């Protein structure tokens, strides 16, 4: 059984800001129990999860703690064994696929390489998943695709087929596809995986910009807890398929969390200044 900071009185609490005020949620998972069809094992079990509206929330936790599984349920890619997910107060199942694609931009870790499709085709397809690649492109379609390609920093790759891209370039193309959808909610599973330092920064900066300029709600899985703590407005920490804690980073990142969740036994072993990215190069919510 996972050790958890939650007690029974806290289990159904809403996520609160630094002043203890409950924040509005874009997505709510209620009484979720998640498993995969291939096994009866419960992978995620959580009484309540909130993704705060118009904020950036990072899901953190060790490998195998259930972050991707939870994100799959929030994005309607995994049907919960029990419980419900609501987006803006409406259950996910009340939306058609087409309607959901207008609400949610999803970057998953299960992207097929679609070998012979070009980057531009992929990004256009993300914006209009129900249209053929070969339908005529309106000015509006064209602008959204152009903007996404530029934001992801892959301007010179637009004619390249996905099968000819490196792992990082492919990841950027998928990110561009998600950004082109112009949705109000983004669910991103490890967007910085495979990316070099420059592109990690570009992607995080773009996410922050979308949040600040357009009020986009973001839930993003990040593996580096110090990066997540500096970048996100809220953290949701997972451990063994359960929520360990949630709230502003300064409340969540404690010695106890580092010990319980990440197995770091003493604060002295945790080096917050030891980062892959230079500190000044990170989009920091606190500046
Ligand atoms: N398709 C699947 N079928 C069965 N079990 C799965 C499947 N995908 C994941 N799991 C199991 O669910 C558990 C949680 O996996 P999940 O991918 O949600 O963790 P995670 O926190 O995202 O991990 P990571 O940081 O390594 O990506 C793991 O024990 C894994 O073996």
Per-residue pLDDT reduced to its tens digit, 34-53: 999 998 899 999 999 999 99
Residue scoring higher pLDDT (117 or 238): 238
* Distances, alpha carbon 209 to alpha carbons 21, 98, 279, 284, in Å: 25, 26, 18, 11
- Output helix, strand, coil percentages for the chain, rounded to the nearest 5: 35, 20, 40
**228 pLDDT more than 50:** yes
Residue 61 CA to ligand 1 center (angstroms) comes to 12
What sign does the CA torsion over 60, 37, 27, 54 have?
positive
Using the atom order of ligand 1, give the atom closest to the CA of residue 72. 18
Q: Which of 49, 60, 61, 66 is the pocket-test mutation for ligand 1 (most atoms within 8 Å of CB)?
A: 66
Residue 69 CA to ligand 1 center (angstroms) comes to 6
The stretch 205-221 carries a mean pLDDT of 95
Residue 13 pLDDT: 62
Residue 282 pLDDT: 56
Q: Which of 43, 46, 225, 238 is the pocket-test mutation for ligand 1 (most atoms within 8 Å of CB)?
A: 43
Residue 36 CA to ligand 1 center (angstroms) comes to 9
**5 pLDDT more than 60:** no
Q: How many angstroms separate the CA atoms of 68 and 185, rounded?
A: 17
Question: Could you give the 3-state DSSP secondary structure of residue 158?
Answer: coil
**274 pLDDT more than 60:** no
Residue 3 pLDDT: 42
Residue 137 pLDDT: 64
Residue 23 pLDDT: 80
**269 pLDDT more than 50:** no
The stretch 73-96 carries a mean pLDDT of 93
Residue 22 pLDDT: 77
The stretch 182-206 carries a mean pLDDT of 92
User: Given pLDDT bands bounded at 50, 70 and 90, which one contains residue 2?
Assistant: very low
Residue scoring higher pLDDT (99 or 278): 99
Residue 20 pLDDT: 72
The stretch 175-191 carries a mean pLDDT of 93
Residue 267 pLDDT: 47
Residue 154 CA to ligand 1 center (angstroms) comes to 30
**9-23, 92-106, 244-258: segment of lowest average pLDDT:** 9-23
Within 8 A by CB and 6+ apart from 53, the residues are: 23, 24, 25, 26, 217
Neighbours of 194 (CB within 10 A): 15
Residue 278 CA to ligand 1 center (angstroms) comes to 30
The stretch 86-104 carries a mean pLDDT of 90
């Amino acid at each position: 059984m996972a050790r958890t900071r939650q007690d029974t009185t806290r289990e159904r609490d809403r996520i609160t800001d630094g002043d203890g005020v409950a924040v509005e949620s874009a997505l709510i998972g209620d009484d979720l129990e998640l498993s995969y069809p291939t096994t009866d094992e419960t992978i995620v079990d959580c009484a309540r999860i909130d993704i705060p509206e118009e904020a950036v929330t990072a899901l953190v936790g060790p490998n195998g703690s259930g972050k991707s599984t939870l994100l799959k349920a929030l994005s309607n890619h995994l049907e919960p064994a029990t419980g419900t997910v609501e987006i803006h107060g409406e259950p996910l199942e009340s939306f058609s696929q087409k309607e959901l694609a207008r609400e949610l931009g999803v970057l998953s870790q299960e992207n097929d390489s679609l070998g012979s499709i070009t980057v531009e085709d992929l990004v256009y397809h993300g914006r209009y998943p129900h249209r053929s690649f070969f339908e005529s492109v309106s000015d509006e379609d064209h602008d959204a695709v152009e903007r996404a390609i530029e934001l992801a920093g892959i301007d010179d790759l637009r004619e390249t087929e996905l099968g000819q891209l490196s792992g990082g370039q492919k990841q950027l193309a998928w990110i561009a596809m998600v950004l082109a959808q112009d949705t109000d909610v983004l669910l991103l599973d490890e967007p910085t995986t495979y990316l070099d330092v420059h592109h990690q920064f570009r992607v995080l900066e773009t996410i922050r910009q979308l949040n600040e300029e357009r009020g986009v709600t973001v839930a993003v899985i990040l593996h580096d807890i110090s990066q997540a703590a500096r970048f996100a407005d809220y953290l949701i920490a997972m451990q063994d398929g359960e929520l360990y804690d949630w709230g502003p980073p300064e409340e969540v990142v404690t010695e106890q969390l580092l010990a319980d969740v990440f197995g770091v036994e003493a604060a002295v072993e945790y080096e917050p200044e030891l980062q892959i990215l230079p500190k000044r190069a990170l989009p920091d919510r606190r500046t």
